[in-house]
Structure 1
Amino acid sequence: MSEQENKHRSVMLIDDNEIDNLINQKMIEAANICDHIYTHSGAKSAIEFLKNIEKLGDTGVQVLPEIIFLDIDMPLMDGFQFLDEFEKLSDDTKEFCKIVMLTSSINPQDVNKSHKYASVKQYINKPLTQRNLEKLAI
């Protein structure tokens, strides 16, 4: 598979820690796995973004992120609340967007809970590394 075939159109980072978002953005840029990176410092704004894209219909598919890196521990709306809202989106969106939990949580309950969501494809502990990006099974 050529690098171009393996490249995604867009990726989304959702983390309330701006420094983590910046570092993760730089890691993703260095890995050259996508053309666009959307960053959200809150899960609420990220879910609103996805809902607005859905309203665009077929045009929205062009901007939907193929991979969403999601933190768990965030104020206002945590990662699991985001997942609950994400489950209410259209089947097409849920099929297209693959979620990777990217968190500092080492709580086994969080790992187990994340497996209950079909959209969650992987669970990675922070920090995001080039090795993690290379091993993305998505």
Structure 2
Amino acid sequence: MSHKIGLACIIDDDNMYVNLVKRIVEAKNLCNNLMVFQNGKDALNYFEAILTNLNKKTIPEIIFLDLNMPVMDGWEFLDNFTKIKNKLGKTITLYIVSSSINPVDIERAKSINTVKDYLIKPVTIEDLEAIFLKKTL
């Protein structure tokens, strides 16, 4: 049985990309709510705070993570998030979304169990629909 994604999360400091994804998600009605963090530190603080009050409605089902951000980059976020994700009690599908086409970055990301896939910016409407609709099967 399929269900609509309740909450998705974008961790990215690129406002143009974030606004594009927001518009696509809203126009295609791909999920109920979308949360956005400008850097990995703010996102990690959010997830660590959830550990004290496990309300599964506040835990996203999908995370889109950029690698190159200020304060805390995507790699550092991944290192820390991997340590706490199992304590959240919910399956979270994480995608790296980066402008980096460096094969080293791609292979490194794909070698991390937490990462479902690596998408190169700009993502397309078809990319997002495939992710959200596959998730609901």
TM over 0.5: same fold?
yes
What SS does the corresponding residue of 1:87 show, helix, strand or coil? helix
Q: Matched residue of 1:29: which SS?
A: helix
Shift of 1:31: 2.5
Q: Tell me if the contact between 2:59 and 2:90 (Cα under 8 Å) persists in the aligned partners.
A: no
Indicate which of 59, 64, 69 corresponds to 1:69.
64
Match of 1:96 in 2: 91
Give the letter aligned to residue 91 of structure 1: N
List per-residue Cα deviations over 1:71-126 (Å, max 9, x = no partner): 01112211111100101114143751110111111010111111122111111111
Deviations 1:34-63 (A, max 9, x none): 111001111100111111112112xx2111
Q: Secondary structure at the match of 2:17?
A: helix
| TM-score, with length taken from structure 2 | 0.88
Measure, in 1, the Cα distance between the counterparts of 2:71 and 2:64: 18
Paired residues, what number? 133
How many percent of aligned residue pairs carry the same amino acid?
A: 32
In the alignment, structure 2 segments of 5+ residues that lack a partner are: none
TM-score by length of 1: 0.88
Give the equivalent residue in structure 1 for 2:110. Answer: 115
State the partner residue of 2:74.
79
CA RMSD of aligned residues (A): 1.6
Kindly provide the amino acid, as one letter, of the partner of residue 55 in structure 1: T
Check conservation: 1:87, 1:94, Cα contact below 8 A.
no
Moved more, 29-38 or 104-113: 29-38
Measure the CA separation in 2 of the matches of 1:105 and 1:113.
Answer: 12
Q: Which structure is richer in relative contact order (CA contacts within 8 A, separation 6 or more)? A: 2
> Is 1:132 equivalent to 2:127 in the alignment?
yes
